[in-house]
Each structure stands twice: as C-alpha cells, then as structure tokens.
Amino acid sequence: MKIKCNKNQTKDLPEEIRNRQSYDVLPLIIGKEYIVYALSEFFNDVWFCICDENHINSFPMWRPSMFFEVTDSRLSRYWVFSFQEDSNNKKRPFFSYSEWANNDFYYDSLTEDEDIEVEIFETYKKLMDLEFPDNSIKEIAQIGDEKWLICTSCLDAWESSDSRDALVICPYCQIIQNNPRYKDVFPSSI
C-alpha cells in the first residue's frame, strides 16, 4: 500500500489527537509518497505506520490517515490480519507482517531498538519497498534473457526472473530500478 501526503500540520488534527503530538508540523513532505508498513485504528480513525522524514531510528511511526490519500490500495503480500489490544483492552483491527500483527508487544520492542525486532522490520521493509511502482524512479533494468537482468547504471548483470515486484536492486551498485518484467495489474474483479 502506498499513500501520498496532502497535509502535515497538527492544527488540522482533532483536538484529542493534536494534544498528543509533540510537533506543530509533522515530519512529512506534502506530495511525497510513502510505503505503509502497518495499518490500524486509533482514536476512531485509520492510522498508517510509515517511515517519515524522521526515520533516523530503526522503526516507522504512526501517522493519521487524514494527512494522506491512498495512491495504491493493494495490500502488501506480506501482510496478515489480526486484532491487537490497546492499553484499554480494546481490540482494534491490525494489518502488517505476521511477526508484528500477531504480537501485541512487537512495536514496543521495535521502538526500544531490540535487535531481533529491528532485523525483522528491516527485512520486511526491504521487501515491501520493492513491491509497488515508484514514479520517482525513472531507470528501467534491461532484460538480458529469461533469467537475467542488466543494470542500466553499472552494466553488471544478475539472475532474476521475478515479475512480482515493481522494483529491483542491482546487487553490485545498489541502484533501485524499475523491473521490466513487472506486470502492474490488479486482480480481475468478479
């Protein structure tokens, strides 16, 4: 799932939420797209967990959906659904990868920089960051043959016949490029 920021000032939030924020302007860039790593409900609204402009730590932050528009509504193939309990023992719907969705305390451990949780998040982040198209990336890897891709930057080749991810990373120069085998289609409707 991808979302685009359309506002970032806490004055636009309902008072109940605004009073819990430590920023006047959230660290979000208006017009920028963000990957959603988890989705849940807080304060009777949907919240997205993203890596915003303060992503200097090892964890994403929860941001209210009212600051965004959904630009790609497909759920990550790595997500599962669960219910998680909040501090008031209220069950709330929750979407993310299984290690997070099935553990009410995972995010606490992640924000406390626990090695295992950080490693799990970084692994899923790398996978989810490649899943959906990114209009800011212009380079397209070249097809060598049915099993190989060629980097347009360093001209090295690597074995990859993946057509599920929109983006690929050259294992040599680490440049992210569009995957020429990717088919950007939604499942057909019934």
Phi-psi region of 174 (alpha: psi -120 to 50; beta: other; left: phi over 0): left
User: Is pLDDT above 60 for 155?
Assistant: yes
User: Is pLDDT above 60 for 64?
Assistant: yes
Confidence (pLDDT) at 17: 76
d(CA 116, CA 51): 19
Owning domain of residue 115:
2-131
Q: Do 94 and 39 have their domain in common?
A: yes
Confidence (pLDDT) at 187: 60
Q: Do 84 and 47 have their domain in common?
A: yes
Are 22 and 30 contacting, i.e. CB atoms less than 8 angstroms apart? no
Closest CA to 63 of 33, 30, 26: 26
User: Which tokens in the block code for residue 90?
Assistant: 């209220």
Q: Considering the entire predicted model, what is its pTM?
A: 0.89
What is the tens place of the pLDDT at every residue in 116-150?
999 999 999 999 999 999 989 999 999 999 999 99
Instruction: Tell which of 116, 131, 146 closes a domain.
Output: 131
Confidence (pLDDT) at 82: 97
Q: Do 67 and 156 have their domain in common?
A: no
d(CA 105, CA 147): 41
Q: Do 52 and 146 have their domain in common?
A: no
Are 132 and 2 contacting, i.e. CB atoms less than 8 angstroms apart? yes
Are 157 and 150 contacting, i.e. CB atoms less than 8 angstroms apart? yes
User: Is pLDDT above 70 for 186?
Assistant: no
Instruction: Tell which of 114, 131, 148 closes a domain.
Output: 131
Sign for the pseudo-dihedral over CA of 103, 108, 112, 113: positive
Confidence (pLDDT) at 177: 97
Q: Do 91 and 145 have their domain in common?
A: no
Confidence (pLDDT) at 86: 80
Q: Do 81 and 145 have their domain in common?
A: no
How many domains does the chain contain in total? 2
